[in-house]
Amino acid sequence: MKNMDTYNNYIQKVVERFYKMNELDPGWDHYDLQHLYWIFNYYQGGAFEDEIEALYNAKDWSALNNLYYQRNRLDIFPTYVDLNYPHWNFFESLNAVAVGDDKGVEHLFPKNLSLKVHIEMRKGIYPMCRVGEILLGGMWYQDEEILNYIIPKATKFAAGKSPKCDVAAIAYMLALQEHDVSKASEYLNDACKVLHNDLTPMEKRHYLPAHGLYRLAARILDKDELQKLSMPEYKTFCREYAEWCNNNTEPPQLYAPFPKPVDFFNDMFMGDWHSIQWKGLEDFPFIGNMPKEWHYDKDGNLI
Please give the model's pTM, rounded to 2 decimal places: 0.87
Domain region containing 275: 5-294
Amino acid present at 258 = F
Tell me the pLDDT tens digit for each residue of 194-209: 766 677 888 888 999 9
Whether residue 127 contacts residue 162, with contact meaning beta carbons closer than 8 Å, is answered with yes
pLDDT class of 32 with cuts at 50, 70, 90: confident
For residue 297, CA distances in Å to 22, 175, 216, 222, 294 come to 15, 55, 48, 59, 8
Over range 36-40, report the average pLDDT: 81
78: closest CA among 123, 113, 121, 33? 33
How much of the chain exceeds pLDDT 70, in percent?
83
User: Is residue 255 a part of any domain in this protein?
Assistant: yes
* Structural domains in the chain (count): 1
Q: Across the chain, what does the average pLDDT equal?
A: 85
pLDDT class of 272 with cuts at 50, 70, 90: confident
Per residue, what are the HEC states of 266-281? HHHHHCCHHHCCCECH
Question: Residue 137 is inside which H or E element, if any?
Answer: helix 127-141
User: Is residue 300 a part of any domain in this protein?
Assistant: no
Tell me the pLDDT tens digit for each residue of 54-94: 999 999 999 999 999 998 988 887 665 554 554 468 999 99
pLDDT for the residue numbered 285:
47
Over range 226-234, report the average pLDDT: 94
User: Is residue 186 a part of any domain in this protein?
Assistant: yes
Q: In whole angstroms, what is the distance from residue 81 CA to residue 77 CA?
A: 7
User: Is residue 40 a part of any domain in this protein?
Assistant: yes
Give the burial class of 269: count Cβ atoms within 10 A of its Cβ; 0-12 exposed, 13-18 middle, 19 or more buried: middle
